[in-house]
Each structure stands twice: as structure tokens, then as C-alpha cells.
């Protein structure tokens, strides 16, 4: 049936969009943290200490983004399967 095909196609593209958004948020969180640390190191002459600290904070922010996305998907999955 055409309706089932369109719904399945829409769900697939939504999943692709969600994956791309999550990937971008991971890369951006790490990049912003590293760039901020590098900039601060240049400003204060503390290279590489702030670069490392802010890079690790970027990784922590990326992990938080992944955790939140997984929790959101689990909540959605449970809501759809409890019906």
C-alpha cells in the first residue's frame, strides 16, 4: 500500500536526519571546546593546558548530547510500544 510506503520512507529519512544532527553536535562540541581552549592558551600563555582541559570538556559535552539523544529515543520507543 502506498500509505505504508510513504510512512516508512518518512521514518527512514527522519532517522537519517537525527543521526546527522547527533553527529554534527558531537563534532561541534569537541571542536568548540578545543578551539576555546586553544584561544585561551594563546591569550594567557598556558599552552597546552587549557587546550587539553577544554578539549576534554568538549568530549564531556558531546557525551552528554549522546546520552540525552539516547534517553529521548528510549522514551519515544517505550511510548510507541506500550500502546
Give the whole-angstrom CA distance, residue 57 versus residue 74.
Answer: 26
pLDDT at 42: 98
pTM: 0.87
Give the whole-angstrom CA distance, residue 62 versus residue 64.
Answer: 5
Segment 24-77, tens digit of pLDDT: 999 999 999 999 999 999 999 999 999 999 999 999 999 999 999 999 999 999
pLDDT at 1: 67
Amino acid at each position: 500500500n502506498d500509505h505504508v510506503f510513504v510512512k516508512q520512507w518518512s521514518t527512514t529519512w527522519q532517522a537519517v536526519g537525527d543521526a546527522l544532527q547527533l553527529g554534527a553536535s558531537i563534532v561541534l562540541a569537541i571542536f568548540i571546546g578545543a578551539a576555546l581552549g586553544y584561544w585561551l592558551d594563546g591569550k594567557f600563555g598556558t599552552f597546552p593546558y587549557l587546550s587539553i582541559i577544554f578539549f576534554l570538556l568538549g568530549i564531556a559535552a558531546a557525551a552528554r548530547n549522546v546520552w540525552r539523544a539516547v534517553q529521548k529515543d528510549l522514551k519515544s520507543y517505550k511510548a510507541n510500544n506500550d500502546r
